[in-house]
Structure 1
Amino acid sequence: MKNFCMVVLGSVIVGLGYNFFLIPNKILSSGLSGIAIMLGLITPINTGVLNFVLNLPLLIVAIFKLGNKFVFYTITSVVVLSVSLYVIPVIQLSTEPILSSLFGGVLTGLGIGIIFKASGSSGGFDIIAMLLAKNKDFPLGSILSALNGIVVIISGFVFNWDAALNTLVAIYTTGKVIDTVHTNHIKLTLMIITNKGDEMKSKLLQSVYRGITIMDGEGAYSGESRKVLLTVITRYQLTDVKKLIKEVDENAFVNITETTEVMGSFHRN
């Protein structure tokens, strides 16, 4: 229920970003939603209807290639976003294109980041990005920014190149905010020094689906023997792991560093 509510909230936030900042200033968003915005501006068909129709083929692909939960949340997001675009009035909150690009990009990135965090997507190019990131440590926002170059080019030909540059600003901002909110691709290395090594190992293996390397250590000052546990986790798991460590040994020394790259066996899902 929590993830479902996050998907709904994120989709509504994206709809607000579109109808309050991007659409009134003829600025496109990323992916199929951006194409839907463009078609909605040059045809009498509502953007929400176009967004739903354009996403149908990729949703069908997602059913076969991705998990059932992901597909359910993605369908929910596409439906809620399409309804939001249909129901929320188009209001021009700012007549300044750059400000509209930035604020529209921030709201869009925030909404999509929340949806990603709930293990869903807003459809369109997001599905392609999730497929690419499924087996590799690619930042989703960067993938989306790369895929959306075509939207910028289309914007320049259909409207003007000022609109294309504003679209580029919006897409770049969206990608950066997504990577700030959705941090699953970030890996952390934990070095845990504790005198309750066996208990800590058992608790971690029971609660966290990660491999652990154990080494013998000795305090240079005290001369006491301790266990050194080394493991790599995702940033999502950090809060739970820190709580778990405190429950086992409040006096454990823990060094947490961000990991640039992981090679070998590492469960990414």
Structure 2
Amino acid sequence: MLSTINFFNNHRGLSRIIVIGLASVIVALSFNLFLIPHKILSGGVSGIAMIIANVSPLKNTGLFIFLLNIPILIAGYLKLGKRFVGLSILSVAMTSVAMQLIPEKQITSEPLLAAVFGGAITGLAVGLIFRFGGSTAGFDIIGLLLTQKRDFPLGILIFSLNSIVVLTSGFIFGWDLALYTMVSIYTTGRVIDTVHTRHIKLTLMIISAQGEKIKEKLLTELERGITVLDGEGAYTGEKRKILFVVISRYELSEVKTFIQSIDPDTFVNITQTIGVMGSFRKT
């Protein structure tokens, strides 16, 4: 049993590294093929790095992204843990290296298309990085620190923090490009919220003859609080356990899998929760 658990954990860790590495390369592709050729900025520290690279003799956005993120990663290490920061370092390093290898080239001559598609591709990649436990550092870490305190949509938080990037873009590159930058950042934020759904909470009402086993599985695997009621079938008169639990959207697939493995006849009612008061572990 222990060897099986270790294999699963190692396999899951390897999957995280692979997905985060590939997503980071996609971020670099989006920057070099869509945004940078049009002087359209990404959000956060990456956007600041793009500004510095454009106004300095050293036209190396990837290098500036890495350098600017060093103090932020140190702060993240103190608050968010070793694994998270390790995966974030992997993401930043992969993005920086990939930007050195991928040539800057315009995929489209239309700035609006570059802003929309560049923002969408960046948002998809960053959302996957978040979903697998990492970040692209920069404002992402600041946003994640804030969402640990309150359940705000992460993409909207990051978009709010990016206003300074848009204003700087307007003063340096002109307000047309600043508006394209705003389109890009907004698109990125919306796509992130589509992929990164951790702020969405679900309430499950689980009715099963194997309620005790399901309860123990929920407690050990998810570490969630559960309310247990005794129920009775109106037609059959059979006794059932009724479990109420609130989970994050991320956990739903895992919960479905082990419920089916314990009792395929389990009835589960899934509803989206508008808000949670009281103690709820934010993962």
Note whether the superposition's TM-score is higher than 0.5.
Answer: yes
Instruction: Using the TM superposition, name which of 59-68 and 166-175 deviates more.
Output: 59-68
Alpha-carbon distance between aligned partners in 1 of 2:88 and 2:214, rounded to the nearest angstrom: 38
Instruction: Using the TM superposition, name which of 36-45 and 209-218 deviates more.
Output: 36-45
The Cα shift of 1:65 comes to: 2.1
Residue 59, structure 1, aligned to residue 73, structure 2 = yes
Alpha-carbon distance between aligned partners in 2 of 1:67 and 1:206, rounded to the nearest angstrom: 22
Secondary structure of 1:190's counterpart equals strand
Match of 1:126 among 140, 144, 147: 140
Deviations 1:49-71 (A, max 9, x none): 11112112212222222200111
Please tell me the root mean square deviation across aligned C-alpha atoms, in Å: 1.3
Alpha-carbon distance between aligned partners in 2 of 1:74 and 1:224, rounded to the nearest angstrom: 51
TM (norm. structure 2) is: 0.91
- Structure 2 vs 1, CA of residues 240 and 56 (structure 1 numbering), >3 Å: closer, same or farther? same
* Corresponding residue number in structure 2 for 1:32: 45
Residue 87, structure 1, aligned to residue 87, structure 2 = no
What is the 5 A alignment of 1:1-269?
A: 1-45=14-58, 46-269=60-283
Instruction: Using the TM superposition, name which of 161-170 and 63-72 deviates more.
Output: 63-72
Deviations 1:9-52 (A, max 9, x none): 11111101100000111100000101111222222311111111
Alpha-carbon distance between aligned partners in 2 of 1:89 and 1:265, rounded to the nearest angstrom: 49
Letter paired with 2:230:
D
The Cα shift of 1:208 comes to: 2.3
Identical counterparts, % of pairs: 54
Unaligned runs of 5+ in 2: 1-13
- Count of residue pairs the alignment pairs up: 269
Letter paired with 1:17:
S
Secondary structure of 1:183's counterpart equals coil
